[in-house]
A and B are shown apart, each in its own frame.
Chain A
Amino acid sequence: MRTSGSAKVGRGESHRDGTHFSVTTATSASTVTLFLAIPAIVVLLALPAFASRVLLQELFYVFTMLALAQLWNLLAGSAGLISVGQQAFVGIGAYALFAFTVVANLDPVLSIVLAGAIAGLVAVPAALIVFRLRGAYFAIGTWVVAEVCRLILAQVKQLGGGTGTSLPPEVASSMVGLDFVRNLFAVRGPAARDILSYWLALILAIGTFLLVYRLLRSRHGLALSAIGDSEAAAESAGVDVSRTKLFIYVATAAATGMVGALIFLQKARISPDAAFSLIDWTAYVIFIVVIGGIGTMEGPIIGVVIFYLLQYYLAALGSWYLMLLGALAIILMLFAPTGVWGLISRFYDISPFPVRRRLIAPVGSVADEKESAR
């Protein structure tokens, strides 16, 4: 199957003998994915009808972590912007949600969108500062920015200052769509809130996934992989490197802010230390991406499953669990830096979510013979 629209970068080029070449990103596996994805999404949407509340809460966590992982993967894996400060935007999104709902009395769902916008706005000046640092220095620079945000918000007394504050119950129960859910599933307020949060998390996870997927298959994705290969070469080929990076940084920050807002809407309690936690919103997220396979669409999905299982069975070990994660990350970097998906794709040539462009030659052409000779 040839994909259409933005996925197809090169229009077919006619040669003298009339053969027709085209460029595609589609694979047979991606066609299968397409047919499996739709029923899977339908099942996930309908899940609240028969799943337990605990399962929905667990899936909420999985989906929000998946969304954060996809976003960090776009930033670090595709754009080469290795940040250890994404907790800045989780925290800003979360605090913006509290400000919009508690102080400005806006609807929580609307506030999530606005919180994303705020995070994106903050990302612009932040980018102008941290982009002056390169590579590993950039990483620590983003961390300083996150610390600055945490320390500033700890000064805001209306939002609880250093100790934090709780979301008043009436805020959560004023969510748009809550009555609809309550009537649809015949459940009480708190259960209906969980269902609504679950749906929002599902939408955010799928939305982020599609956003990143579409982006990587578009000409911007091509620009990104060119930047990844060589910044100088990309620049000379007409890619505006700094603008592309700025766009990715700001877009990622906005989406991260929305996820952060949703997470803390569900938690209904906020404090600077929780909202700007390096471990919860960056270390775990990096772990998910790296164990799954950085720079691939499949990696974060595999990573979040592995991470969830580890968390489920071992989190009770406390600091030993964290030491184990740290040791796993080190071992991975030394012996399998491409992660689990990298190992899988070394042995099986499948790609359910392909972003790489391949040249398709017509049957019998020179390129085709070369292809089959390999």
Chain B
Amino acid sequence: MLGWIDTLLQGILLGGLYSLYATGLSVIFGIMRLVNLAHGDLIVLAAFLMLALAAMGVPIVLTLAIVVPLMFALGYALQSAMLNRVLGRNILPPLLITFGLSIIVQNGLLETFSADTRFLNVGPLQGASLPLGGGIAIGVMPLICLATAIAIILLLNGVFYRTALGRAFRATSDDVEIAQLMGINNKAIYALTMGIALAVCAVAGFFLGARANFDPSIGPARLLYAFEAVIIGGLGSLWGTLAGGIVVGVAQTVGAHIDPEWQILSGHVAFLIVLVIRPRGLFPRAVD
């Protein structure tokens, strides 16, 4: 019984990491109806950037402060220089541009950093854990990760629902043509959206590296977890995305508890089951 409670707790904490992966994707989905196939690779890129900065002697918390704005700028540039040119009814160009980007980032990292597995050294917090009694303990880093995921969702929802800029975001999401008639520059909104998404990717990259090992090839799998979390949660709802991340996380730890080889598979299967039972996700908001 205690084993199952432990499994459930670890799954929820893992879900915190997955919803961090997914938040950026959910924002892009919600506002642009766009899928970024390079999302996972950009998370890994952020982790490697922090690793490189840390190797130069920059304190780990400071690397986060450098890489987050850097990834924001990258997202802004990516959207305004490339993806804004191919907006429209045909979804193939944006999909293939991000697919090409995924292959470039993955192989660029492989060429620069080799295929070795790495981790980010976060000092004394690395292996620290809080005993909860009964032999159950939860890691401090995973707990901070879950708290960060919640904090980011609170922050983003605050921006989206309480500010004038947020109103512009929601208007663009609801009906881009009417939003343009009201004087909103939709391309600028899209560039900001991608910037925000990649800034969240940078935070996700930090926790990816701080919680577990990573190497250049693991991006696509993170994309799939993130995507599953978004679809399970329901499009357009960030709290839904958090719930979706937790569903994937719990499904994976439960699967791993039964047989370690089933971890990844059970996450995917949970996603497919939700898709069959509730195709619009658990907490749908947007219609699309």
Contacts from A to B (Cβ < 8 Å):
76, 82, 84, 128-129, 132-137, 139-141, 143-145, 147-148, 151-152, 154-155, 278-279, 283, 286, 290, 294, 319-320, 322-323, 325-330, 333-334, 337
User: When the two chains form their complex, are residues B104 and A323 in contact, meaning their CB atoms are under 8 A apart?
Assistant: yes
Most buried by A among B34, B90, B100, B268: B100
- A143–B222 Cα distance when bound, in Å, is 13
User: When the two chains form their complex, are residues B37 and A84 in contact, meaning their CB atoms are under 8 A apart?
Assistant: yes
User: When the two chains form their complex, are residues A337 and B107 in contact, meaning their CB atoms are under 8 A apart?
Assistant: no
Query: B residues 64-105 with Cβ under 8 Å of A?
Result: 82, 85-86, 90-97, 99-104
User: When the two chains form their complex, are residues A330 and B220 in contact, meaning their CB atoms are under 8 A apart?
Assistant: no
User: When the two chains form their complex, are residues B111 and A320 in contact, meaning their CB atoms are under 8 A apart?
Assistant: yes
- A147–B82 Cα distance when bound, in Å, is 29
User: When the two chains form their complex, are residues A147 and B224 in contact, meaning their CB atoms are under 8 A apart?
Assistant: yes
Which chain A residue has the least Cβ–Cβ distance from B288? A134
B53 within 8 A of A: no
Apart from A129-B276, A132-B276, A144-B272, list 8 A-B contacts with CB within 8 A.
A136-B33, A136-B91, A137-B231, A141-B231, A144-B227, A154-B261, A327-B100, A329-B96
- A145–B271 Cα distance when bound, in Å, is 10
Q: Is the interface of A mostly helix, strand, loop or mixed?
A: helix
User: When the two chains form their complex, are residues B110 and A133 in contact, meaning their CB atoms are under 8 A apart?
Assistant: no
Give the 5 A-B residue pairs with the shortest CB-CB distance, closest first.
A136-B35, A326-B103, A319-B107, A326-B100, A329-B100
B228 within 8 A of A: yes
User: When the two chains form their complex, are residues A151 and B268 in contact, meaning their CB atoms are under 8 A apart?
Assistant: yes
CB distance from B187 to the nearest CB of A (A): 15
Partner of A136 from the list B34, B220, B272, B279 (CB cut-off 8 Å) is B34
Chain A residues with CB below 8 A from B96, complex form:
286, 290, 329-330, 333
Q: List 8 A-B contacts (CB under 8 A).
A: A140-B35, A140-B227, A152-B265, A319-B111, A323-B103, A326-B99, A326-B100, A326-B101
CB distance from A307 to the nearest CB of B (A): 14
Most buried by A among B103, B227, B269: B103
B54 within 8 A of A: no
Most buried by A among B102, B107, B271: B107
Partner of B103 from the list A76, A129, A135, A325 (CB cut-off 8 Å) is A325
- A255–B188 Cα distance when bound, in Å, is 44
Most buried by A among B82, B85, B104: B104
Chain A residues with CB below 8 A from B220, complex form:
278
Knowing A283-B99, A319-B111, A334-B97, the reply to whether A294 touches B224 (Cβ < 8 A) is: no
Partner of B275 from the list A76, A132, A143 (CB cut-off 8 Å) is A132
B108 within 8 A of A: yes
Query: B residues 148-163 with Cβ under 8 Å of A?
Result: none
Knowing A132-B275, A136-B34, the reply to whether A286 touches B99 (Cβ < 8 A) is: yes
Chain A residues with CB below 8 A from B272, complex form:
129, 144-145, 148
Knowing A140-B227, A283-B103, the reply to whether A319 touches B110 (Cβ < 8 A) is: yes
Which chain A residue has the least Cβ–Cβ distance from B225? A144
- A134–B100 Cα distance when bound, in Å, is 21
User: When the two chains form their complex, are residues B231 and A148 in contact, meaning their CB atoms are under 8 A apart?
Assistant: no
- A154–B259 Cα distance when bound, in Å, is 14
User: When the two chains form their complex, are residues A148 and B97 in contact, meaning their CB atoms are under 8 A apart?
Assistant: no
- A151–B271 Cα distance when bound, in Å, is 15
User: When the two chains form their complex, are residues A337 and B93 in contact, meaning their CB atoms are under 8 A apart?
Assistant: yes
User: When the two chains form their complex, are residues A323 and B108 in contact, meaning their CB atoms are under 8 A apart?
Assistant: yes
- A53–B108 Cα distance when bound, in Å, is 36
Chain B residues with CB below 8 A from A278, complex form:
220
User: When the two chains form their complex, are residues A330 and B35 in contact, meaning their CB atoms are under 8 A apart?
Assistant: no
Which chain A residue has the least Cβ–Cβ distance from B278? A132
Most buried by A among B86, B223, B272: B272
- A140–B231 Cα distance when bound, in Å, is 11
User: When the two chains form their complex, are residues A148 and B103 in contact, meaning their CB atoms are under 8 A apart?
Assistant: no
CB distance from A133 to the nearest CB of B (A): 7
User: When the two chains form their complex, are residues A129 and B111 in contact, meaning their CB atoms are under 8 A apart?
Assistant: no
B264 within 8 A of A: yes
Which chain A residue has the least Cβ–Cβ distance from B228? A144
Chain A residues with CB below 8 A from B82, complex form:
330, 334
User: When the two chains form their complex, are residues B111 and A334 in contact, meaning their CB atoms are under 8 A apart?
Assistant: no
Chain B residues with CB below 8 A from A139, complex form:
35, 37, 95
CB distance from B170 to the nearest CB of A (A): 21
Most buried by B among A136, A145, A152: A136
